[in-house]
Amino acid sequence: MTPYEPSRDPGAGPVYDVVVLAGGAARRLGGADKPGVRVGGRALLDRVLAACADAGTTVVVADPRPTARPVTWAREDPPGGGPLAALDAGLRHTTARYVLVLSADLPFLQEGTARLLLTVLRTGGADGVLLTDADGRDQPLVAAYRATSLRHELAALTKEHGALTGLPLRRLTAALDLTRVPDPVASFDCDTWDDIATARARIREHGHVLDEWISAVKDELGIDLDVDTGVLLDLARDAAHGVARPAAPLTTFLVGYAAARAGGGSEAVAEASRKAAALALRWADETDGDPAATPDGGPDTRPDAG
């Protein structure tokens, strides 16, 4: 069993939980609402939440706000008490043996990164596994930890200092045995408006824009569905070339509608796509060798037309 799969032991509880720290002052952004800043049409917080959607419990330490999926809200006392106080407040709502600890400003965090952190943690003996950035610096807010290790060290710091308010995060990480995984992309965080601009530019690059757009649309429409976009693109191409250019968007819309009527799910989309693609190819076959055919949707100028 991998740490991101549901446990088959009814008494084991969820395999991992998540604590997202989203209550910082964002001074380098002029006090802007950083978790709500949009990159690729999605709030930074929602992008982070999408990377850990299979967690047992997801706790966001901040004042409540609308999010793309349900979360548990927590707040350190007093608010603004710093990352250790926030982590302690969030950890109180978790029960799993492993905990992902994330900041809310990671535009390129992916589900695969979360899985990697958890896998390395589970198979090793360290207290935690964290990413390092392009300069080799530790990123303790892109990390997976053993919950028992976190609770033990937070309790020790509380006993030593009387409270966690104002203590830097390094006071915790210095006491833990940590494994480091280099990842300059997933560890990229948005502290400044230049960082935001860099993130917005990157997701519009050719190799990223389609996946980013599909993810944004699914979030906006409340759709949690993984489909083979290659199949849909092939269908759109066949409809455009074999029938008429406007047939491409209309056909893919009808495929989605048919899949929904069939109960939804990726298999329903695949089956509806298969049928529509076969129809488009049959349609195109009928016009092969007919110079008067107009699959591009132009006017039919034959004498007997219409």
Please write the tens of the pLDDT for every residue from 121-152: 999 999 999 999 999 999 999 999 999 999 99
Q: What are the Cα distances from residue 250, in Å, to 21, 55, 231, 246, 284?
A: 43, 37, 15, 7, 17
Q: What is the pLDDT of residue 6?
A: 35
CA–CA gap between residue 194 and residue 171 (Å, rounded): 29
Residue 293 predicted with pLDDT over 70: no
**Region 245-252 average pLDDT:** 86
CA–CA gap between residue 82 and residue 77 (Å, rounded): 10
Residue 249 predicted with pLDDT over 70: yes
Q: What band does 291 get if pLDDT is binned at 50, 70 and 90?
A: low
Residue 290 predicted with pLDDT over 60: no
Q: What is the pTM of this model?
A: 0.75
Q: What is the pLDDT of residue 3?
A: 38
